[in-house]
Chains A and B, each alone.
Chain A
Amino acid sequence: MSAATTTMTREVPPKSGLRAFVDKLKGGDEIAHLITLTAAAGIILITSLLVLELWRTSQLSRAKFGWMFFWTKVWDANFDNFGAAPFIYGTLVTSAVALAIAVPLGLASAIFLSELAPRRLSDIVSFLIDLLAAVPSVIYGLLGIFIVVPLMRTTLGPALKKVLGFTPLFAGPNYGVGFLTAGIVLAIMVVPFIISVSREVLLSVPREQREAALAMGATRWEATWQVVVPWARTGIMGSVFLALARALGETMAVTMVIGNNPQISASLFAPGYTIASVIANEFTEATGDLYLSALIELGLVLFLMTFILNGLARILIVATERGGGRPA
């Protein structure tokens, strides 16, 4: 035994730095570390490359139009005159309509699932809602074209006009396609995200908060609305931002029901256009470098909008789950 140990020590000479590193490599740990590190760095590389490519390929348009790109209302490929205003307007309006419908609906559902429903029922319903989130957007578009658009033209639109027609929002001719239809389809698409994130946030509110409110004689609703929801406020805001980021970038369903007309109109019945849908429609037909470059600049604008919103959303959600956005 002792002889073996002495021969062992005699055979292994003191290692130089390089030899030690090679030996470690043979052990496999450093190789595995290196390979996985490369993959992780690859993600950073891909993302930076994405930003770089958008910046580079939109160079022509940025140089020609500068900041005026955002204010110009004209989109004319024949005269090489491109402005983003109608598309930015359309993107913001459809998303606003979507949120106006989806936030109350989503928050109410999340309250039901976290506060009222028995755990089993809540889990099943949440599962179904997750499935809803998995439905591809082109299918929402398909249903939009063949169900929501006719419904808007024949029933929903005229009814809204009768009740709210005196406001500019619901004036003007109703074609079935337009901002409102796109907003409704978008609302259905983003509601699952609001529900699943808000439910998680509401469930993370400490039980004592509810019990304290109930012990003070509050009704179930008062405890929920005045104590639990304010506690979870920041996280719920986060879920709304997340949904907004989704709505801004959503392409197919909107393209299929918005009417594809680059105009700024106060009426929600009017056909419009969004950033994502103009890219989807015109990218393959874009003749001329400036045309393509302008479309890519629109893509850059869309990227920046969602980038900022996602960042905010993440900060808010993390902040609540770390110990509560205590009500002020």
Chain B
Amino acid sequence: MSEPRIMWRKAVNAVMLTLTGVAAFGVVCVLFLILGYLIFNGGHSLNLNFFTQLPKPVGETGGGMANAIVGSLKLLLLAALMGLPVGLLAGIYLAEFGGKTFSFIVRYTTDLLNGVPSIVIGIFAYALVVLPVKHFSALAGGVALGIMVIPITVRSTEEFLRGVPNSMREAAMALGASKWKTIVTVVLPAASGGILTGMLLALARVAGETAPLLFTAFGNRYWGQGWGQPIASLPVMIYTYAISPYDDWHRQAWAAGLVLLMLVLLSNLGARFILARSKAV
């Protein structure tokens, strides 16, 4: 083979391999750009008022998003109460009891539900909860988020339960434990780290969801008046403030963005930490 041909192939090799490295580096840079921008812009605007005060009326500067922070936590609580048990139990079914055909259908449906755009879930919760009573409510928002929690919890629960070696199940049964006793006292504890991780990740994902809340939980500039009334949430606040024409609202949107991102990233890191520790034990 001629010398220039080999030189050319080597050059192509070097150029293309470098480009792949540049691409990967670029994508990682985006993460740090996002973090940097939010910390820079949000850090400026973050103060104690943000965590303790209600939003000020339009035109007045200052105020905070205390109600939205509490609102987001309330919505997450509802989502956890509704979504996690169903997800956990269905995951146990798939890993420990399931037959062939029915399990396949359940798994397929779970994947399908996971892929449904969040705004469509919002429409569903609207039709289910808001339409019958004719007003927006925290409950409707919780239902929307709860539905989104289910598929993520199911898949992670099943995966980690399957990771528990069969010998452990057999050991428990050989000692005379019934199947459910084996699951509750041996299999679940062995997989608990992974299952917790999955649940935490599921909640972290829905914590940032905005679209399904727009016409279910709606929003509220005051403290919520109970589960049956509209309620404020951080993501919806960020959206409304970001598209508003007011500078002071933009400032607060950055602050809220920083708080939300930290919440989500820290739960992700925490989840991985739990997982790493439970694997080490």
Contact = CB atoms under 8 A, between A and B. Distances in A.
A138 B239 contact: yes
Contacts of A303: 116-117, 120
A312 B180 CA distance: 37
A50 B116 contact: yes
B238 interface: yes
B178 A40 contact: no
A244 to B, nearest CB: 11
B254 A251 contact: no
B20 A111 contact: yes
B261 A135 contact: yes
Contacts, number: 257
Contacts of B207: 136
Contact of B242 (A49, A141, A250): A141
B85 to A, nearest CB: 7
A222 B211 CA distance: 45
Contacts of B111: 310, 314
B248 interface: no
Most buried by B among A35, A40, A41, A53: A40
Interface stretch (B25-33, B50-58, B61-69): B25-33
A41 B242 CA distance: 41
Interface residues of A, number: 86
B180 A31 contact: yes
Interface in B1-30: 9-10, 12-13, 16-17, 19-24, 26-28, 30
B264 A37 contact: no
B274 interface: no
A139 B38 contact: yes
A218 B205 CA distance: 44
A57 interface: yes
A119 to B, nearest CB: 14
Interface in A100-140: 104-106, 108-109, 111-113, 115-117, 125, 127-132, 134-139
Interface stretch (B123-131, B163-171, B189-197, B220-228): B123-131
B81 interface: no
A3 interface: no
Contacts of B34: 132, 135, 139, 143
A52 to B, nearest CB: 10
B59 to A, nearest CB: 21
B70 interface: no
A139 B121 CA distance: 20
B118 interface: yes
Given A139-B38, A141-B239, A142-B242, A43 B113 contact: yes
B120 A249 contact: yes
A125 B215 contact: no
SS class of chain B's interface: helix, strand, loop or mixed?
helix
A241 to B, nearest CB: 10
Contacts of A188: 30
A219 B10 CA distance: 7
Interface residues of B, number: 90
Contacts of B180: 28-29, 31-32
A42 B261 contact: no
A32 B17 contact: no
B89 A44 contact: no
Nearest to A199: B24
Given A135-B264, A141-B239, A141-B242, A105 B23 contact: yes
A27 interface: yes
Interface string B151-170: 10010000000000000000
Nearest to B242: A142
B210 A137 contact: yes
Contact of B120 (A40, A113, A130, A302): A302
Contacts of B268: 130-131, 134
Contacts of B235: 136, 138, 252
Given A113-B24, A147-B37, A191-B27, A279 B261 contact: no
9 contacts: A33-B93, A42-B90, A47-B113, A53-B123, A115-B20, A116-B21, A136-B264, A191-B27, A306-B115
Given A39-B87, A116-B20, A128-B31, 4 more contacts: A54-B127, A131-B31, A134-B204, A310-B111
